A and B are shown apart, each in its own frame.
Chain A
Amino acid sequence: MRTWLAAGIRLPLAALAAALAAYPIFFGNAYSFRVLTLAGIYALLVIGYQFIFGHAGALSLAQGCFFGIGAYVSAILAASFGWSFALTFPLALAAPALLAAVVALPVLRLESHYLALASLGIAQVALLAATNWQSLTGGANGIAGIPGIAAFGHSLAEGAPLMLAIWALVAVAGLLAWQITRGLYGRMFHLMRENATAAAALGIDASAMRFRAFLLSALYAGAAGALYAHTLGVISPGVFEFPVMVACLAMAVIGGSARVSGAILGAVLLVHLPEWFRVFEKSYLIVYGAALLAVIIVAPWGVVGALERGRKRFLPEPQPRAPAQHVTALRAPVPAGADAVLELSSLGIAFGGVVALEGVSFVVRPGELLGLIGPNGSGKTTLVNVVSGFERPNAGRIRFAGRDITQLPPHLRARLGIARSFQSIALVASMSALDNVALGRASLEGTGLVSALAPARTDAHLVRARAHGMALLDALGAAAFAEQPCGALPHGIARRVEIARALALEPRLLILDEPAAGLAEEEAALLAERLRALAAAGLTLLVIEHNMPFLMPLAERMVCLEDGRVIAEGKPEEVRLHPRVLEAYLGRGSSAGVPA
């Protein structure tokens, strides 16, 4: 119990909940109940908004519109057609979700600002429709006479019962949101919003996750909208106007954008703000704007983030240390019958007027460690990007484990067993080394929205993934750093953590892009030892390296690129003494003085 309270900001949150429950007993009056009820509705709206904004990291401006649609759908069905709340409520959830699905298709794959303004566009159209479709929506006057919340023969009285019912719903909705994002699935969101490329390289389909987050946020908004309509009894096109969206955004940012507690805190604070700033009367929104601006500049992590930082300073979070389970198995490098893991034939790619690769063909054989060398700018990293799917070649084909993958997107190639590291380390800085490695298990664990909802105290996926991760960190000699956030790791350790993460994918082929870059000599030697051990265990490796002293004793074969073309291929010693390699590395006329 003590440790449970100490985690996150549960202690202040529990105190807040108790205060909320006690409040009506001592100070309650009709007006304060109403304000608190509204705060609960907004909390629901913001908890939903956190899926797309906080977790998926996409700035949607459609949340206000989804809220309005939920409100109108429930209001029209109840007031004009006399349907019961038990029927209108689910439809109020479904309608915005349907709209979200339709709008998301063209927009979600694009950059964040496209989503922002395109989603604002829907809101403008919805506002126009609500104002002008008089027969259905009552035009500018809106709809009056919406019945209170009643279902299955019971109706909720205004005041304390309604307030408590809505807050109970907030608790359930918050618990669901927490459940979805507490484990491996939530960490997948964290990775994809911070580094979509690294996520794809681990087999995580970022656009699919964004799509789900968008639908979830629409569902929550629809629910909040319906409750709003039935609580107030009247609605007008104002629910579609921008202030609703601004309030939601401000609550999320001020409270803390990826925490359920942040949503609740933000909603309670900002709903009361107009009460506290009565002097401003109608222009209390100026205060909203100023508060939003101040928080985004001074404390972008929000109030809850600030509390968490404070707590961490005085009361370090007890980190459950995952036991090492078993070393990750290697997949068979190739299905029976295929004789190459990777086969490149006449690959070509050009950017603008610059040819980066031309006619590149070579194979990587099962179980070998192939070194790819070449001077800076010779196209090595481009080649890695083409093989892992981040660049599409203009010409040529790529076969992997006997299958043509030239047209496959990166996350599917990763799932087939191509793992890679990045030249500049691509770990989530604020996440522990262990959890970064655990993310490598995401696609193998089959983590998804539904499985994240499994009712258990801890997410089973995360527990298993951490166990794998611990074993891998141990194998790479980085177990002592498992609990440290990656941003603070020394360069050499961060490299190993990244390799451990790639190994967590159980790859058939591991591609390392300049693993020794920036390492001190001793560190590089240690890394070489680990790589040799991996190769000895049967892993197929393609190591891109500029540092020849590092690669020479390690590689079984080498390929040398220059100007995007293969200029030499063979045993390391042959490649090293190849006149064209010498020329590329040391300049013309330098082959004469090479010690034999």
Chain B
Amino acid sequence: MELLQLILDGLSLGAAYALVALGFVLVLNATGAVNFAAGDLVMAGGFVAVALAQILPVPGLLLLPLVLLLMAALGLLFSLLAYFPLLGRPPTAVFISTIACGVMLQNSANAIFGAEPRKAPALLGEALYRLDGLTIGRQSLAIILVAAFLVAAQYLLFARTQLGRSLRATAQDRDIAEALGVPTRRMIALTFMLAAALAGAAGLLLANRYFVVPTEGGDLVVSAYIAVVIGGWGSLPGAVLGALLIALFQVVVSAYASYTVAAALLYGVLLGVLFLRPKGLFGEAIGRRA
């Protein structure tokens, strides 16, 4: 029963991680660049939720659309600062520019909100249900449902709409997409907006139970990164699956040993995966270009 409880907690944490990892892969696929600030965008989303809650004392679920919107705007700004001025430069340049933007985000949050942990409102209240010795928090359930909804929405957008096809085509071969009439710059800006919105949603989801502090970005981006490596570099379903796996791992090992042991073991697993299966546990989603 205890294990079941842990699995539930792990799933709820993993659902939020999945959103971060998804945003990370979207940007990676569209630009070939690793977005180091993915974790800081989650943090920014958390603080946006905290700030909104001070103005609008409503449940978190009602804040969600506003957080998505504001974070998408931040994502656009982010792409204009960190990505578009560096078109045609090696990926390392973009990597460094995202580090720079992350540093600015983190320290802006520190200047505005201070270093103390802050708490965002729960999505639908913090009631607990008891079921056969199992404690199910309403927040945990809501996190899982909201994240599942966002993942599904992202999937449908990409799989079923012309916009989604254009986004994918841009990610796979930008020049050719452009030559076929796809406005690829707009698509890339849109990808950054989507990624930031997903990260922001994760920030809102996490900032209730785990609070939000300006410095949390580093841990989150490493988690997202490990999820993406395990799931297969560039694979969207792999990222979601990888995020769920590492969250479960973290929660279960933390419960039986400690958080430090969990982090060290997870890191060991990452090195092992890189060494033995550099293409991830689930292989590559997209076949080699012929």
Contacts and interface: CB of A to CB of B under 8 A. Distances in A.
- A touches B (Cβ under 8 A): yes
Interface of A: 57, 59, 103, 105-107, 110, 112-114, 116-118, 120-122, 124-125, 128-129, 132, 241-242, 246, 249-250, 253, 282-283, 285-286, 288-290, 292-293, 296-297, 300, 351-354
A107 B272 CA distance: 10
Interface of B is mostly: helix
29 contacts: A59-B95, A103-B271, A105-B275, A106-B271, A107-B274, A113-B34, A114-B278, A116-B95, A117-B222, A121-B270, A124-B222, A125-B263, A132-B258, A132-B260, A249-B96, A249-B99, A282-B110, A285-B103, A286-B111, A289-B100, A289-B107, A290-B104, A292-B96, A293-B104, A296-B96, A296-B100, A297-B97, A351-B289, A352-B288
Nearest to B274: A106
Given A129-B260, A132-B260, A297-B85, A289 B101 contact: yes
A128 B259 contact: yes
A112 B110 contact: no
Best-buried of A103, A113, A118, A132 by chain B (most CB within 10 Å) = A113
A114 B264 contact: no
B104 A110 contact: no
Name the interface size band of chain B.
35 or more
A59 B92 contact: yes
Nearest to B85: A297
Given A106-B272, A118-B271, A293-B81, 12 more contacts: A59-B95, A112-B91, A114-B278, A117-B229, A120-B218, A128-B263, A132-B258, A132-B260, A246-B103, A289-B100, A289-B102, A289-B103
Kindly list the 8 A-B residue pairs having the minimum CB-CB distance in the complex, ordered from nearest: A106-B275, A289-B103, A352-B290, A289-B104, A293-B100, A292-B100, A283-B111, A117-B225
A170 B31 CA distance: 39
B274 A116 contact: no
Contacts of A297: 85-86, 97
A283 B103 CA distance: 10
Given A246-B103, A293-B100, A113 B274 contact: no
Contact of A114 (B110, B218, B274): B274
A290 B100 contact: yes
B275 A253 contact: no
Contacts of A57: 92
A118 B96 CA distance: 16
A57 B93 CA distance: 11
A292 B271 contact: no
B219 interface: yes
Contacts of B5: none
A545 B15 CA distance: 56
Interface in B255-286: 258-260, 263-264, 267, 270-272, 274-275, 278
